[in-house]
């Protein structure tokens, strides 16, 4: 099973969209294996967005991400990174398709509600910023056999 990091950004928290967004991931069949409400530290934002250091949007992004609480989570499931990215939609809400999280709830360029890992490699690096292996809760969902056929090819 694959894991992906998702962060509900300060705008999602302030707009009280936590439940609505979490419901999308759960309805799709992804399992929440770690979840924390927190404020991001300088070290966390530097590690998370290190690939963007030096770009003109880096400092405003860091300020925004530290402007209020965020919900940080690890989602687990088959193809979790790709599935999560599709559920999120295009980066800017006004470009995102209806039916996606950003398409249904977002309108802004800068306030795009959610961060999601863009690759398995990024997910591994990003998850380590927030969680230790002991933070992940292992459990079985009773509906799991009905959400995904394990005999299917995962490649």
Task: List active site positions.
Answer: 115
Distance CA 46, CA 59 (A): 10
Count of CB atoms within 10 A of residue 78's CB? 16
Distance CA 101, CA 103 (A): 5
């Amino acid at each position: 099973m694959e894991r992906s990091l998702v962060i509900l950004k300060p705008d999602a928290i302030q707009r009280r969209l936590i439940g609505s967004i979490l419901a999308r991931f759960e309805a799709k069949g992804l399992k929440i294996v770690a979840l924390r409400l927190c404020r991001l530290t300088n070290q966390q934002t530097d590690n998370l967005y290190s690939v963007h250091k030096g770009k003109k949007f880096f400092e405003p992004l860091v300020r925004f991400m530290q402007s209020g609480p965020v919900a940080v989570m690890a989602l687990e499931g088959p193809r979790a990174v790709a599935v999560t990215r599709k559920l999120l939609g295009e980066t800017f809400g006004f470009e995102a398709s209806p039916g996606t999280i950003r398409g249904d709830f977002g309108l802004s360029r800068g306030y795009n509600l959610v961060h999601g890992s863009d690759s398995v490699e990024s997910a591994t690096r990003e998850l380590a910023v927030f969680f230790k292996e002991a933070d992940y809760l292992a459990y079985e969902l009773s509906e799991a056999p009905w959400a995904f056929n394990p005999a299917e090819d995962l490649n």
